[in-house]
C-alpha cells in the first residue's frame, strides 16, 4: 500500500491500536505537526517586548504580529479544511507545513513592522487547514477507545511547539536580534516538516468524496444548532483568549520594575508549557476514564484560581499562578477538543471534521481577538486590569461548562 490516499468502499485497513508501530509513528508524526504549527504561530510571543522597542509601538500594537496569524487562521480554517480534506489529508498537511516554513524563512527579511505583520497573516492562511485535518486524521485513523489519549498527544505537541518557538526565538534574539530569532524558528519548522512526512504511516481510511463550499450549509446548521457543541465552541474562544493574554503580556510585566528581570530569564517562563504538555495528555486519558464533564470543570476552575495567584508582585506567586493557568487551560482544551468530534458523530448528517474546524475557529479567534483586547486591558489597567479581564473570560468558560453538564447528548 502506498501513502497516496485514494477513494474506495469501506476502510483500507483497521484503525490503529495503542502499542502498534503504526500508532506510534502516527502519534509521533502528528505530534511533530502540532509542534511545527505552534512553533510558527507563537514564536513571536516571546519577542513582543523586543518588537515594541525595535519599531516604537505599544504592547497592543506589537501583539498584531501574533493576532494577524491567528486571525487569518480563524477566518480560513473552516472553508479550507472542508475543501482540502478531499485532496488527501496527508498531502495537504505536508504542503501546509512546507509553505508555512518557507514564509517563516522570509519573515526575518521583513523591512518594516507592517511587512512582518503581512507575512505573519499569510502564515495563518497556509496553516489554516492543518489543525482541523490533524484532528480529523486522528479520528479516522485511531481506534475510538484510544482517541482521547491520542488527541492529548497531539495537543502535547502543540504545547512543546509553543514552548520551543518562544524559547528559541527569545534566546536567539537576546544574543543576535529578533531577525536571527525568527530565522532559527524557520529552520526548526523545516526540520519538523521533513520528519513529519517521513514518519506518517499510510492512511487506513479512504479519502472523503469531493466537497463543495455550498454543500457545507446543512452540516454547519446541524453543528450550530446543537447546544452542546455551541458550548464547546464558546469555551474554545474564552479559554484561549484568557490563556494567550496571560502569555502575551507577562513578559512586559517581568521586564519592568519591581521585577526588572533580564530578557533571557523572562524567556524561561515559557517552560511552564511543559506542565501543559503533561496536562493535555493526562486530562485526555482522565476524560476517557472518569468522564469529560468533571475533568473539564476542574481544569477551568484551576485556571481561574491561577490568574489570581499571579496578582501579587512576588516572583514565586507569579510563576505558581502561571503554572496553574497553563495546566488548567491545556487540560480543558484537551478534553473539549476531543469531545467535539465525539458529540458531532452523534448528530444525524453532521461532519466531525467540520465540527473540529468550528472548534478551531473559536480557538484561534479567541487568540486573535481575545489577545488583542487583553492588550488594551493591560495598557490601561496594568496587571490588575489584565487579571480582571482574564477572570471574566474564565468565568464565562465555567458558565458554559455548567450549561454543558446539563445538556444531554444528541439522540
Sequence-ordered list of residues with C-beta below 8 angstroms from that of 34, at least 6 positions apart, any chain = 131, 134, 154, 155, 156, 157, 158, 161
Averaged pLDDT of the chain: 83
Indicate the pLDDT class of residue 410, thresholds 50, 70 and 90: low
Q: From 49, 54, 41, select the one nearest 122 (Cα to Cα).
A: 41
Element (H, E) at 402: helix 371-405
pTM listed for this prediction: 0.80
pLDDT tens-place string over residues 92-132 = 888 889 999 999 999 999 999 999 999 999 999 998 878 77
- 318 sits in the region (left: phi over 0; alpha: psi -120 to 50; else beta) called alpha
Better pLDDT: 62 or 32: 62
pLDDT of residue 148: 67
Q: What DSSP assignment string belongs to 101-118? A: HHHHHHGGG-SSHHHHHH
Structural domains in the chain? 21-405 (1.20.1250.20)
Better pLDDT: 177 or 207: 177
pLDDT tens-place string over residues 2-45 = 344 443 345 555 666 766 787 788 878 888 888 888 888 988 98
Q: From 127, 68, 120, select the one nearest 93 (Cα to Cα).
A: 127
Amino acid at each position: 500500500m502506498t501513502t497516496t490516499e485514494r477513494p474506495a468502499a469501506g476502510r483500507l485497513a483497521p484503525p490503529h491500536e495503542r502499542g502498534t508501530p503504526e500508532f506510534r509513528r502516527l502519534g509521533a508524526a502528528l505530534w511533530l505537526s502540532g509542534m511545527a504549527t505552534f512553533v510558527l504561530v507563537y514564536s513571536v510571543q516571546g519577542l513582543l517586548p523586543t518588537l515594541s522597542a525595535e519599531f516604537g509601538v505599544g504592547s497592543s500594537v506589537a501583539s498584531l504580529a501574533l493576532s494577524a496569524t491567528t486571525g487569518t487562521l480563524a477566518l480560513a480554517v473552516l472553508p479550507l479544511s472542508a475543501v482540502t480534506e478531499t485532496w488527501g489529508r496527508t498531502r495537504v498537511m505536508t504542503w501546509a507545513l512546507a509553505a508555512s516554513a518557507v514564509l517563516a524563512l522570509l519573515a526575518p527579511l521583513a523591512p518594516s513592522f507592517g511587512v512582518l505583520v503581512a507575512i505573519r497573516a499569510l502564515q495563518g492562511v497556509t496553516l489554516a487547514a492543518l489543525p482541523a485535518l490533524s484532528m480529523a486524521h486522528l479520528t479516522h485513523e485511531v481506534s475510538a477507545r484510544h482517541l482521547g489519549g491520542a488527541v492529548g498527544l497531539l495537543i502535547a505537541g502543540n504545547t512543546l511547539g509553543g514552548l520551543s518557538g518562544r524559547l528559541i526565538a527569545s534566546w536567539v534574539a537576546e544574543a543576535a536580534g529578533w531577525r536571527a530569532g525568527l530565522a532559527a524558528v524557520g529552520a526548526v519548522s523545516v526540520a519538523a516538516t521533513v520528519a513529519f512526512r517521513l514518519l506518517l504511516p499510510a492512511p487506513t481510511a479512504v479519502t472523503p468524496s469531493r466537497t463543495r463550499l455550498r454543500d457545507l450549509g446543512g452540516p454547519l446548521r446541524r453543528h450550530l444548532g446543537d447546544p452542546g457543541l455551541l458550548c464547546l465552541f464558546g469555551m474554545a474562544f474564552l479559554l484561549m483568549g484568557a490563556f494567550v493574554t496571560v502569555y502575551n503580556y507577562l513578559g512586559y510585566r517581568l521586564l519592568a520594575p519591581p521585577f526588572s528581570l533580564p530578557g533571557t530569564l523572562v524567556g524561561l517562563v515559557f517552560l511552564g508549557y511543559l506542565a501543559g504538555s503533561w496536562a493535555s495528555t493526562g486530562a485526555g486519558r482522565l476524560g476517557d476514564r472518569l468522564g469529560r464533564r468533571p475533568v473539564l470543570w476542574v481544569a477551568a476552575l484551576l485556571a481561574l484560581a491561577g490568574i489570581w495567584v499571579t496578582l501579587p508582585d512576588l516572583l514565586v506567586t507569579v510563576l505558581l499562578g502561571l503554572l496553574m493557568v497553563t495546566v488548567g487551560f491545556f487540560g480543558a482544551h484537551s478534553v473539549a477538543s476531543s469531545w467535539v468530534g465525539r458529540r458531532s458523530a452523534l448528530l444525524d448528517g453532521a461532519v466531525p471534521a467540520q465540527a473540529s474546524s468550528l472548534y478551531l475557529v473559536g480557538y484561534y479567534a479567541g487568540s486573535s481577538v481575545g489577545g488583542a483586547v487583553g492588550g488594551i486591558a493591560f495598557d490601561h489597567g496594568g496587571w490588575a486590569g489584565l487579571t480582571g479581564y482574564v477572570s471574566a473570560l474564565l468565568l464565562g468558560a465555567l458558565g458554559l461548562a455548567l450549561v454543558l453538564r446539563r445538556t444531554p447528548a444528541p439522540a
